[in-house]
Amino acid sequence: MPLEITGLAPLSQLVVPGLLVPVTEGLELGLANSIVGVAFVFGVLFCWLSRRPEALVWLIQTAGLTIIFVVARRQGWSGIKAILAGLVFLCLTFLVLLGIGSGHGLVGGYNDLVQAVSKEIDQSLALYRETSPAAYKADIKEGFLWFRSTVIYFLPGLLALVYLFTSLTNILIARMYLAIRLKVDAFGPAFIEWKLPYQLVWATIVAGGLAFLGKDIYKVEGNNALLVLGAMYFLQGIAILAFYFRRFKVPRFVRWIIYILLTIQWYGLLILVIIGLSDVWFDFRSRTAI
């Protein structure tokens, strides 16, 4: 159904796999995956009849993500493991489809993607310059050029962040529905107990080394990896903060004020990332109990 409304398919990917986890609750794993497979076949048929091959990307990613989360639920994976598995799957699927669909290989497909993004930003620049006073056109152009170069530089990391958010929202929706409707605890402890695998710190160290010491493509890769890993440790920092808010019974309106103040400033974001990363060694939440 989302394929029938333009623009809804990518947005629905944030919730569809998560909703299908409780829908298939109680079914055998093989039967649950078969239902997803049949839905996928009908989706492919719809894409062929409506001549919308671009929707196949959404279908493949959504079906695969659903199967991963259904398996994760049956196997008792933690929320962190399921989210990371979803992130890896979405990234790998994107790379494979980009390489196959472009007809120019992975590098050529990525260059096509960069050109498409640049074209969209340039069109936005032209629109703003036409409707802006002449005195501000030079500043607007300079700002857009900086924005375009930044987006292109961090494009791999930004795409990975989108996939991380997609995986996260689906797990939270599945967990919430199972807990409220079916009274079933799923995907490990609550968000305030969020803790990334210890091994991930080594990836962070390598990415930091490439970002600060690497050159050319290695420096770009390091910075993009740090962007994604920093987002993960930011969430862990938020979880630690939420833990202590609950521990000391901080009123909700005070909590939200602090959240907003920390997240609207770059140093607030950095503090939360540092807290999340430091938890690897200091394990802040083990020092007290709710």
From 138, 167, 188, the end of a domain falls on 188
With contact defined as beta carbons under 8 Å apart, do 222 and 211 qualify? yes
Which residue range is the domain that position 21 belongs to?
A: 1-102+157-188
Q: What are phi and psi of 238, to 5 degrees?
A: -60, -40
Question: In terms of domains, do 181 and 61 share one?
Answer: yes
- pLDDT number for residue 230: 96
- In terms of domains, do 161 and 278 share one? no
Judgement on whether residues 174 and 233 belong to the same structural domain of the protein? no
Query: How far is the C-alpha of 133 from the C-alpha of 159, rounded, in Å?
Result: 34
Does 211 map to a domain? yes
Based on the fold, state whether residues 179 and 281 are members of the same structural domain.
no
How many structural domains are present in the chain? Answer: 2
Whether residues 97 and 235 fall in one domain: no
Do residues 25 and 56 share a domain?
yes
Over 80: is that where the pLDDT of 77 sits? yes
Q: What is the mean pLDDT of the chain?
A: 89
Of 267, 205, 195, nearest to 232 by C-alpha is 195
181 and 240 inside one domain = no
Residues 41 and 61 in one domain: yes
Q: Which position has the higher pLDDT, 52 or 77?
A: 77
Residue 121 lies in a domain: no
pLDDT computed for residue 53 by the predictor: 75
Average pLDDT over residues 25-38: 93
Taking the model in full, what pTM does it have?
Answer: 0.90
Res. 56: pLDDT tops 70 = yes
pLDDT at 10 over 90: no
Which of 15-29, 48-62, 76-90, 114-128 has the least mean pLDDT? Answer: 48-62
Where does the pLDDT of residue 174 fall: very low under 50, low under 70, confident under 90, or very high at 90 and above? very high
